[in-house]
Amino acid sequence: MSDSIPVTAEGHARLQEELKNLVRVERPKVVQAIAEARAHGDLSENAEYDAAKNKQGFVEGRIKELNDKIARAQVINPAEIDSEKVVFGAKVTLIDIDTDAEVTYQLVGEDEAEIKDGKISITSPVGRALIGHEVDDEVRINVPSGVRVYEITEIEYS
């Protein structure tokens, strides 16, 4: 896995903050929990010990995953992008052709996607469908309920 991962500066900072929290806070908590569980005696029937070891496995796995993602991160500042087309980092305003409903999405990396904040992954079906399009283009997007047609009304990089 040597491919770079596009990420905004905000998303990169969030990954680093999560890593710092896992290393400085969660890892020591887990080590303490394991030590306390060991003090209770027989480990073969010790549910607290098993739970602490499972949590340790999760924390260590996430630390490894975050280190890899941060090492491969290609930090992109959308404000520096000058494009008429939809690319990573774009805030795209769409009008649903059938309902006239307006929605705005920002295309971000997988780890930054948060639909309630209007951030969708560049690898999601909607994100992939929007890439390369321009204002006034009609985009057909396959969604679970069928095909939706949207018109791009604005593309912004900020």
Percent of the chain with pLDDT over 90: 78
Can you give the residue range of the structural domain that contains 98? 78-156
Number of domains in the chain: 2
Q: Which residue has the higher pLDDT, 158 or 87?
A: 87
Bridge-based pairing state of the strands 138-143 and 119-121: unpaired
106 vs 101: CA distance, rounded Å? 17
pLDDT digits (tens, 9 = 90+) for 116-151: 999 999 999 999 999 999 999 999 998 888 899 999
Percent of the chain with pLDDT over 70: 99
CB 153 within 8 A of CB 92: no
End-to-end CA distance of the chain: 30
**Domain identity same for 111 and 132:** yes
Q: Phi/psi of residue 153, each to 5°?
A: -105, -20
pLDDT digits (tens, 9 = 90+) for 14-47: 999 999 999 999 999 999 999 988 887 777 777 8
Q: Phi/psi of residue 126, each to 5°?
A: -65, -45
**Domain identity same for 12 and 65:** yes
**Pick from 65, 64, 70, 66: which is nearest to 4 by CA?**
70
**Domain identity same for 61 and 95:** no
Judge if pTM exceeds 0.75: yes
